[in-house]
Structure 1
Amino acid sequence: MRQFKNPTWINDIKFEYESFDQIPAHVFDQINRDLDKVQSKQPLVSIVMSAWNEEVNLLRTIASMSRMKTKYPFEIIVINNNSQDRTQDTMDRLHVKRLFQPKQGCGFARQMGMEHAAGKYILLADADCYYPSCWIDEMIDVLTQPDVVCVYGRYSFISEKGFPRWKLSLLELMKDAFAEIRHIKRPYYNSFGLSMGFIKEYGMKIGFVPSKWRGDDGMLCLGLMKYGKIKQVRSNKARIWTAPRTLQRSGSFSQVLKERILIEAKRFKGNFNNKMPKDLSMQDE
């Protein structure tokens, strides 16, 4: 069912702080108590998250993950990707596995996280998103199906001024429709690191593209195709939620819609051929 309002479970973790200095100690304490209850020392699943200048957003993301309800033991790994703000201070106050990658780029950070992961399965997440409590189960239930090596989920945008939920819902409906078409032959164009999972054994054989540019997630998916199936997790309740920052760069909602339609129109025919891309640095979220 398409949501025309922001989900209510986000409300009490949508912290309105603007900097690390504003975060009260009791907020960290509560999140850590929850993290201690849900994380395992013998994880089957490792959540790998690259963070660059996300000192407050990271708090919101980890707060959502601390409320996971899952049958799979898991750990959270956060990689500070050479942040220039106080992301490291936020990380140091949270009960998660912490790494530092001085080389700029998600590919470098995610590769480090994968190498340090204890789990058999890797879930990629972003440090500026909200994750529903069912996310792990919905993703891993599909990833553990026969011959599946990689999965990706869907995402929605939180409404903000100029971007009401009813308009965003229409955009997401269009986005999901095009994703279904791309999935037939080009699922790697749908595979974003904000909600993606794979088997570590095969991920280590492929590795992340060592680049500062985008597309490392899609290129990993492309490489994994030779080992098994890529599946889409279509469950709407497993959608992750994020602010419309990428949309706001394009201007108004009408400008965003026009831009997205033009992009999809240009590459529509390509969705039906088997030509493999050299890189996915222009991959769109």
Structure 2
Amino acid sequence: MDSSKYSYEVIVVDDGSKDKTPDIVEQNFPWIKLFRRPVNYGTGTARKFGTEKAKGKYVVWSDADLTYPNYLIPELIPHLDKYDQVIGARKTEEGQNKLLRVPTKWFIRKLAIFLSGKNIPDLNSGLRAFKREFGLRYLHMLPPGFSCVATMTLAFLINGHPVKFVPIDYFKRVGKSKFHPIKSTWEYLIQVIRMIMFFNPLKIFLPISIFLMIIGIGKFVYDIIFYHFSIKGSTIVALMIAIQVFVFGLLAELIVKISKK
């Protein structure tokens, strides 16, 4: 950054860590803005806190485990002339527990692509730059855990912000990963669904309604053929539930549209 044309500040948020990270920062990098938080509330809360404290026009997020090529930050910033967010899309997955992480992230990314209708090369990259004025709009949606980065990706894409994905290298982690195969996966999955529900609920309700309607119609035809036009109660229930789910989706969509005005 020193060799670039940009002025900048570096913010380190110590989220209740138990090592000597804040002491090392204070002793060796006195120019860094260090914020100590006595209790660990998660990476999402830390990123939110740091973004609120930032003073610049642009905000860059990165992890402290040396997995991301932070030297490429000056190359990301020029893209913000045309885009509202620039995300470093990792070429490979070098994290721990690769056998679990890779298929899990692939599934959640594909789900996010289907629900959002947008191409997403990397849903939860930790290296990204965005315009602070827009990022502040969505900080209240950030969960405390790892899914905060996926939240910021979806918030920008679903709300029509132009987002640029730039391929980057991804290196082996320094230290132990806090990714939990079950807990973290569940958090990612729920957050993706929650974000779609918040901005485009019909993407959730409509497929469910269609699925139930197909089952109901199929059962209706089955009853006509095998029960001589005697429609069973289960068939009527399936059709009614399908209609109700669709109506709930329309109401949710209406609420979203009104809340945006």
Deviation at 1:246, TM superposition (A): 5.3
Q: Looking at secondary structure, tell me which structure has more strand per residue.
A: 1
**Alignment match, 2:34:** 98
For 1:214, the equivalent position in structure 2 comes to 146
Mapped to 2, the partners of 1:130 and 1:71 lie a distance apart of 25
Aligned to 1:153: 88
Supply the distance in 1 between the matched residues of 2:178 and 2:13 (Cα, whole angstroms). Answer: 25
Q: Check the 8 A contact 2:85/2:163 in 1, yes or no.
A: yes
Displacement, 1:241? 2.7
Matched with 1:275 is 203
Among 123, 127, 131, which residue is 2:60 paired with?
A: 123
Q: Please report how far the alpha carbon of residue 185 of structure 1 lies from its aligned counterpart in structure 2 after TM superposition.
A: 3.1
Tell whether 2:82 aligns with 1:107.
Answer: no
SS in 2 for 1:80: strand
Contact 1:107 1:212 in 2 (8 A): yes
Amino acid at match of 2:203: K
Structure 1: gaps (5+ residues)? 1-36, 39-68, 164-170, 251-262, 264-273, 278-285
TM-aligned CA deviation for residue 141 of structure 1: 1.8
Amino acid in structure 2 at the alignment position of 1:100: R
Corresponding residue to 2:18 among 84, 93, 109: 84
Deviation (angstroms), 1:186: 4.3
Deviation sequence 1:140-192 (CA, Å, 0-9, x none): 122222xx2112103356699xx9xxxxxxx8xxx8xx88x959934568243
Determine the C-alpha separation between the residues in 1 that align with 2:180 and 2:6: 37
SS of the equivalent of 1:104 reads coil
2-structure distance, mates of 1:206, 1:81:
21
1:211, distance to aligned residue in structure 2 (A): 3.4
C-alpha RMSD of matched pairs (Å): 4.2
In structure 2, the gaps of 5 or more residues are: 182-188, 190-201, 206-261
Aligned residues: 177
Aligned to 2:171: 241
How big is the shift at 1:240?
Answer: 4.6
Work out the CA distance in 2 between the residues paired with 1:190 and 1:99: 29
Does structure 2 conserve the Cα–Cα contact (< 8 Å) formed by 1:142 and 1:233?
no
Matched, 1:72 2:6: yes
How has the CA–CA distance of structure 1 residues 199 and 191 changed in structure 2, closer, same or farther, with 3 Å as cutoff?
Answer: farther
Taking the aligned partners of 2:137 and 2:179, their CA distance within structure 1 comes to 37
Amino acid at match of 2:32: V
- Which one-letter code corresponds to 1:198 in the other structure? F
Distance across 2 between alignment mates of 1:159 and 1:210: 23
Q: 1:243 to 1:123 in 2, by over 3 A?
A: same
Q: How does 1:1-285 map to 2 (within 5 A)?
A: 38=2, 69-93=3-27, 94=29, 95-101=31-37, 102-129=39-66, 132=69, 134-145=71-82, 148-155=83-90, 156=92, 182=113, 185-186=117-118, 190-192=122-124, 194-207=126-139, 209=141, 211-225=143-157, 226-234=159-167, 236=168, 239-243=169-173, 275=203
CA distance in 1, matches of 2:160, 2:77: 17
The 1:182–1:137 alpha-carbon spacing in structure 2 relative to 1, beyond 3 Å, is farther
Partners of 2:155 and 2:69 in 1: CA distance = 28
TM-score by length of 2: 0.53
Larger radius of gyration: 2
Percent identity among equivalent residues? 22
Label 1:117 to 1:158 Cα distance change in 2 as closer, same or farther (>3 A).
same
Deviation string, structure 1 residues 98-124 (Cα, Å, up to 9, x no partner): 012334111111111011101111110
